[in-house]
Structure formats: C-alpha cells, structure tokens
Amino acid sequence: MTTDNQQDTAAAAVPTRSGFVALIGATNAGKSTLVNRLVGAKVSIVSHKVQTTRAIVRGIAIHDNAQIVFMDTPGIFKPRRRLDRAMVTTAWGGAKDADLIMLLIDSERGIKGDADTILEGLKDVHQPKVLVLNKVDQVRREDLLKLAAAANEVVAFERTFMISALTGSGCEDVMDYLAERLPEGPWYYPEDQISDLPMRQLAAEITREKLFLRLHQELPYASHVETEKWEERKDGSVRIEQVIYVERDSQKKIALGKGGEAIKAISTAARKEISEILEQPVHLFLFVKVRENWGDDPERFREMGLDFPK
C-alpha cells in the first residue's frame, strides 16, 4: 500500500524540465495555429494573410513535468522593405536563442521557395533541430516520406513528426518528445501563465487579427494596431481605446467601410474575444488614423517588439 507521503516523495524525485522551443518556417506554414494548439489557448493571432506574426510571441505549455515555452516567430521570406527585414531578423534571432528549433513545413507546398532557403540557413545554426511536417492529412503518405527524406538530407534533424495543427493529429507525440528532450531545470513562469505578452498588446493583436480577417483582400498587411488607453472601471468592466494606423487615406476608407460598417464589425468581433479572455465586460473604441510611412518610424517598431533595422 502506498502512502500519501510516499507518493509526494516520488513526485518530488521527478526532476522538472524547462526550455525555449523556437518555431520557424515560411509564411503561412501554420506556426501560430500550432502554437495555439500546443498551448491549449489562443496566444498568437491567425489569419489568411501572410506575415501576420511580426514579433516573437511566447506561448507557455505544461506537459508532464516540463514547462515548454514556444516561441512563435515571424514567417521567414525574402524581405523587400524595412519591416520585412526586421521580421526576418527577429525570426532568425529567436531561433538562435532557443534550446531547440522546430522547423515547420507545409506538406502541401513542400520544400520550395522560402522553405528551401530556411533549410539552407539552418545549416549554420547549432541548436538541436526537429522537423515538423504540417497538414499531413492533405498529402499522400509516400509523398510525405519523400519530403521528410529530402529535408533530412539537407539538415540533420533529431526527429521528424507528421502532424495536423488544425485537427491536433500527431501533436501529443510532439509534446511527449519535448517534455523529455528539454534540459532539467526550474520553470521560468508561474504554472497558470500561458503567455508573456502583456494584455494591452494581446488585445491589440486580437483587433489586428479581426482587421485582417475582415479585410485581408483589400487592406495591405502594413497596418498596425496600438492600445492607447486601458481603464478598469468600478462596475468591473474595462474601457479600451485602440488606434488602427494605416499609411494612406484610401486605406482609412477601407478600414472604416461604407457607413462605418467594416470598423463596427471588426470592433464587435474583437470586443467579444477580448471579453472572453479577460472574463469581464469590455467597452472597445477603435479609431483609424493615417500615419504615412509608419513603417519607417522606430517608435512603431518598438511598439511591435521589433528592432529597427538601419
């Protein structure tokens, strides 16, 4: 018969593990969807628009005795502008700061374009690396095996996983592996914390997601949302004021929509989700402002958590 004291002693004898796992990949490979899946909560925004993730978002998961800090990095692509360069530099910097790197490849797209460039870049990165093939439910098994073999010929991956971030298939195997692979050590964050993103910033990211989901065909991705005011009210609700920055008057008209229809829909969707996360009523007020060439403003880069490239 096992006593409570014996059970406590056995639990205490199991060492805790913790570490940072960087997810890198081409744009729209499914990194943010996978991070949200592995964490079990929404910590990174998702949209059909490429380059949605701009700065590193950390999602924190507990699995067995391990605390796994996932670093959702911006998609790596061929940069054309200053903002692009900052995002790609941030992604590679996050990879080099991690304990382990997970390369996520869209199985439908395979190794071509940006994915091929990333594989070549990983040759110079010394951290242990894991290959994750996403959307495997859309591809024949023999094609998946060829894809895995081709990637492993370029980079010596420790393990290869085949998953669907959307359905969760194969994700438990990834978590089991990481929980055993990360180094022994104390946890970095409190047990109930799922992200290191300040709530003001997460609220702005949620609004940006709704903006992209509503207007992803019409509005360039070079739009930015900032939370300017956050007031906790006596009735238990929160009053939030946010500004959507665009670069031209024509973009402002698109964001507002005919008769304010678009901005009302964006506000309603964002308010609902922010309220669910905060578990309290939210009064959200959105304003759209034109700031020409905000992509060349160092202050905007700091707001996004990016270094301003020279």
- The pLDDT, as a whole number, for residue 234 is 93
Q: Does 75 belong to an annotated binding site?
A: yes
The CA angle 232-234-238, to the nearest 5 degrees, is 30
Instruction: Average the pLDDT over 22-49 and give the result.
Output: 76
How many other CB atoms sit within 10 Å of the CB of residue 39? 21
Is residue 296 pLDDT above 70, yes or no? no
Closest to 107 in 3D by CA, of 130, 135, 132, 131: 135
Judge whether 76 is annotated as a binding position. Answer: yes
Confirm or deny that 72 is annotated as ligand binding: yes
How distant is the alpha carbon of residue 19 from its chain centre?
17
**pLDDT exceeds cutoff 50 at 49:** no
CB 271 within 8 A of CB 261: no
- Rounded distance, CA 288 to CA 61, Å? 35
Distance CA 54, CA 57 (A): 9
* Annotated binding residue 139: no
Please tell me whether 259 is known to bind a ligand.
no
- How many other C-beta atoms are found inside a 10 Å radius of the C-beta of residue 159? 15
> In CATH, what is the architecture of 17-181?
3-Layer(aba) Sandwich (3.40)
For residue 170, give the DSSP letter.
T
pLDDT at 221 over 90: no
Asked if residue 135 belongs to a known ligand binding site, the reply is: yes
152-171 per-position pLDDT tens digit: 999 999 999 999 999 999 99
Please say whether the beta carbons of 151 and 157 come within 8 A.
yes
**In the predicted model, what is the mean pLDDT of residues 27-48?**
76
Select, from the ranges 12-26, 69-83, 242-256, the one with the highest average predicted confidence (pLDDT): 242-256
Residue 12 has pLDDT above 70, yes or no: no
**Phi, psi dihedral angles at 129 (to 5 degrees):** -130, 145
Look at 280 and 9; give whichever has higher pLDDT: 280
User: In the structure, what pLDDT confidence band is assigned to residue 77 with cuts at 50, 70 and 90?
Assistant: very low
Say what the pLDDT of residue 51 is: 44
pTM beyond cutoff 0.75: no
* Residue 32 known to bind ligand: yes
Q: Is 161 helix (H, G, I), strand (E, B) or coil?
A: strand
> Is there a contact between 69 and 188 (Cβ–Cβ < 8 Å)?
yes
Question: Any binding-site annotation on 203?
Answer: no
CATH code of the domain made up of 199-304: 3.30.300.20
Domain ranges within the chain, ordered by starting residue: 17-181, 199-304
- Split at pLDDT 50, 70, 90, the class of 129 is very high
**Helix, strand, coil share of the chain (percent; to 5):** 40, 20, 35
On whether the CB atoms of residues 181 and 11 are closer than 8 A, the answer is no
CA 37 vs. chain centroid, Å, equals 11
Asked whether residue 87 carries a pLDDT value surpassing 60, the answer given is: no
Residue 308 binned pLDDT confidence (cut-offs 50, 70, 90): low
68 band by pLDDT with thresholds 50, 70 and 90: very high
Please give the helix or strand (H or E) that residue 227 lies within, else none: strand 224-232
Residue 31 among known ligand-binding residues? yes
pLDDT at 97 over 90: no
- The reply, when asked if residue 137 is annotated as ligand binding, is yes
Q: Which of 2-11, 28-37, 147-156 reaches the highest mean pLDDT?
A: 147-156
Q: Average pLDDT, stretch 226-235?
A: 93
Residue 10 is predicted with a pLDDT of 47
Confirm if 197 and 205 have CB atoms less than 8 A apart: yes
Q: In angstroms, rounded to a whole number, what is the distance separating the alpha carbons of residues 200 and 304?
A: 12
Residue 25 assigned as binding residue: yes
Task: Name the more confident of 257 and 27.
Answer: 257
